[in-house]
Structure 1
């Protein structure tokens, strides 16, 4: 179906005039989130992740950077459920990224304190998220396919049930993979005519453009604006990030960006370097540049005393990334799912 076959966006999205703020949800009062809530929100997320057995923790720095982005309206797009003692027991957030050009998306994010579950709070929070998400999709004015999306770790079974009961369908499946670094590493074999160089700020805009091109044919990926690209860098590890350039033209043709999530190491019981983004532009594919970038970063992780190399992958990635990673010794240790309502 093409965009010309679609009904007008406002009709498809059916945005409500008003968003229903939870009213009878366990005695909580509701207000928007602010940056002053970062410590309390971090504590809430830690409690949720511990209860659900999630193999990572969300740091205060990661919570704080969610308040970045000029396109975000926190007063209207966030919600905090506060108990009588002023403690945040639930939260919700909706984000509609500004660069969407193929599918306009609203991402729904939220959680309920484990001690406050079973009171209908999650159901009302999700209803608020969906209603606000529909409003944001309609307000985008983009005559494109539209999507309400929520990610959940597969260990969080109650969240998955809540989403499905409320009309969300599992549409994409993701694996977290890791590879031990105390065994022989693959050799770094850089294709002829190319060089792999350390990440630099001077090349970062070229990397953004290369990323948008490399992921143009990936399901669910949309172009990243410069502001969106620069957001979410609190865990960025420049020393573990590399850029592939064409020797003749100086063009950026591939990249690997890493994160250093030290706050996760006590939880998982080992030290790991995490590959956040890996891409190769279409014209340079088929030359084993991605394995060369991965071999390069494995050596960097190992040199800094890491025990494992980790990354995440869309299991249906049409580029064959899952097979590539398995061939390099990565194995799945955790999984998550995207649930959506397609509009």
Structure 2
């Protein structure tokens, strides 16, 4: 049965103007600028500390947001400053250019712990929703639309605020880790496949393989070439691997790792993180994903790293959660995707 969607503009109900937080907040409002990166990083870290998160954002990760050619910094960002000009609240709304099946607007932001419980967060979220709706409407794509907010489960106050704003939980995620100090499976390659180090020459093939591999994953949309490299501030090429068909040298699977050294003092151990892992559908069930994970484990351990880490959608259609458990990964942190479906 086919459902006919109302026109996007009608479903999204984008406002002509966004609701900018008012004077009652005690802050002056404007847009962020790239020159704010260091201060914004410090603000995000303060929020992460207050929410008892076992990781910290880096300045490089914050800075790379401003490399997004699809980001209108003047309209897609918000900064709240106190009388001394210090940054106390922020928001960022992004709408990925490659979305085709579902157009999405991702809302991110926060309020300094010392400025919380004053109603500022609710006003920041209202601004973010308004801008998100504008960006969704501007795509003109006649497909389902979604406003999304991701919240770590330790950030209970943020989750409550998001629920109060009309968002509902739609997906659940787990962070998992595996110690590398004990036994690690021996490296192997499935029949007809070669496991090779990542190379820039094969990266475009890896992107296309990713778009194919994740076509049946909830919340995933095709990545453009720009999007594919946008979140690589912490990319660790020597910890990343590709699976190639021996007959054709086509990329059939991939694992890209990140080296998030700023997290290690907080976590109390060093780690290598699997940022993205995928296998093209026709090649699933042959042991390619575990082969890539084992290759990464050995690369991490060779550099003296203590743990391998990754994140997983607990309802992943490929059974990834079970695979990771069988390889010794155990959950240690959880998060929730909240959305408003339009």
TM-score range, shorter chain: over 0.9
- How far off is 1:68 after superposition? 1.0
- How far off is 1:25 after superposition? 4.0
**In the alignment, which residue of structure 1 is the partner of 2:186?**
187
Cα distance in 2 for residues equivalent to 1:197 and 1:161 = 45
**In the alignment, which residue of structure 1 is the partner of 2:297?**
298
**In the alignment, which residue of structure 2 is the partner of 1:94?**
93
CA contact (8 A) 1:25 1:119 kept: no
**SS of structure 2 residue aligned to 1:207:** helix
- How far off is 1:75 after superposition? 0.4
- 1:35-83 deviation line (CA, Å, top 9, x unaligned): 0000110110111011110010000000000111111101000000000
TM-score relative to the length of structure 2: 0.99
- How far off is 1:166 after superposition? 1.1
- How far off is 1:162 after superposition? 0.4
List aligned pairs for 1:300-339, cutoff 5 A.
Answer: 300-339=299-338
TM-score relative to the length of structure 1: 0.99
- 1:73-123 deviation line (CA, Å, top 9, x unaligned): 010000000000110000011000000010000000000000000111000
- 1:125-144 deviation line (CA, Å, top 9, x unaligned): 00000011000000000000
Q: Where does structure 1 differ by over 6 angstroms across 4 or more consecutive aligned residues? A: none
**In the alignment, which residue of structure 2 is the partner of 1:114?**
113
Cα distance in 2 for residues equivalent to 1:25 and 1:82 = 13
- Does 1:166 pair with 2:165? yes
C-alpha RMSD over aligned residues: 0.8
**In the alignment, which residue of structure 2 is the partner of 1:284?**
283
Cα distance in 1 for residues equivalent to 2:33 and 2:316 = 37
List aligned pairs for 1:93-242, cutoff 5 A.
Answer: 93-242=92-241
- How far off is 1:186 after superposition? 1.3
Where does structure 2 lack aligned partners over 5 or more consecutive residues?
none
- How far off is 1:26 after superposition? 2.3
**SS of structure 1 residue aligned to 2:66:** coil
Cα distance in 2 for residues equivalent to 1:11 and 1:100 = 19
Q: How many residues align?
A: 342
List aligned pairs for 1:8-87, cutoff 5 A.
Answer: 8-87=7-86
